[in-house]
Amino acid sequence: MSVSAAVSIDALADLLRSRRWTALTGAGISTDSGIPDYRGADARPASPIQYDDFLRFETVRRRYWARSLLGFRSFGAARPNAGHRALAALAQRGLATVITQNVDGLHQAAGSASVIDLHGRIDRVRCLACGELSPRSRLQRRLEHANPGLEGEVAAGRAELDDARLRPDGDAVVERWSDFVVLHCERCGGLLKPDVVFFGESVPPARVAQAYAAVDAAEVLLVAGSSLTVMSGLRFVRHAAKNGTPVAIVNRGATRGDESATVRLDAGTSETLSALAAKL
Task: Give the pLDDT of residue 279.
Answer: 95
Q: For the ranges 2-11, 16-25, 191-200, 267-276, which has the lowest average pLDDT?
A: 2-11
CATH number of the domain residue 170 falls in = 3.40.50.1220
CB 132 within 8 A of CB 124: no
What's the mean pLDDT in 232-247? 97
Rounded to two decimals, the pTM is: 0.88
Residue of 225, 214, 232 whose CA lies nearest to 271 = 225
Q: What is the CA radius of gyration of the chain?
A: 19
Task: Give the pLDDT of residue 70.
Answer: 79
Percent of the chain with pLDDT over 90: 73
Residue of 10, 81, 89 whose CA lies nearest to 268 = 81
Q: Tens digits of per-residue pLDDT, 163-183?
A: 444 454 555 455 567 788 999
Q: For the ranges 47-56, 71-80, 134-143, which has the lowest average pLDDT?
A: 71-80
Task: Give the pLDDT of residue 164.
Answer: 43
Phi, psi dihedrals of residue 21, rounded to the nearest 5°: -140, 160
What's the mean pLDDT in 70-79? 80
Residue 151 in this model has a pLDDT that exceeds 60: no
Percent of the chain with pLDDT over 70: 84
CA distance 251 to 34: 17
| CB crowding 197-224: b at 16 or more within 10 Å, else e | bbeebeeeeebbeebeebbeebebbbbb
CA distance 79 to 100: 16
Task: Give the pLDDT of residue 271.
Answer: 97
Residue 233 in this model has a pLDDT that exceeds 90: yes
Task: Give the pLDDT of residue 77.
Answer: 81
Domain count, the chain: 1
When pLDDT is cut at 50, 70 and 90, the band that residue 132 belongs to is: very high
Owning domain of residue 248? 3-279
Residue 8 in this model has a pLDDT that exceeds 70: yes
Note if 84 is an active site residue. Answer: no
Cβ neighbours around 230 below 10 Å, total: 14
CA distance 75 to 68: 10
Mean pLDDT score across all residues of the chain: 87
Residue of 197, 195, 198, 208 whose CA lies nearest to 99 = 208
Beta strands in 173-259 (DSSP E): 192-196, 220-224, 247-250
Q: For the ranges 151-165, 219-233, 247-261, which has the lowest average pLDDT?
A: 151-165
Catalytic residue (one of 84, 107, 119, 184): 119
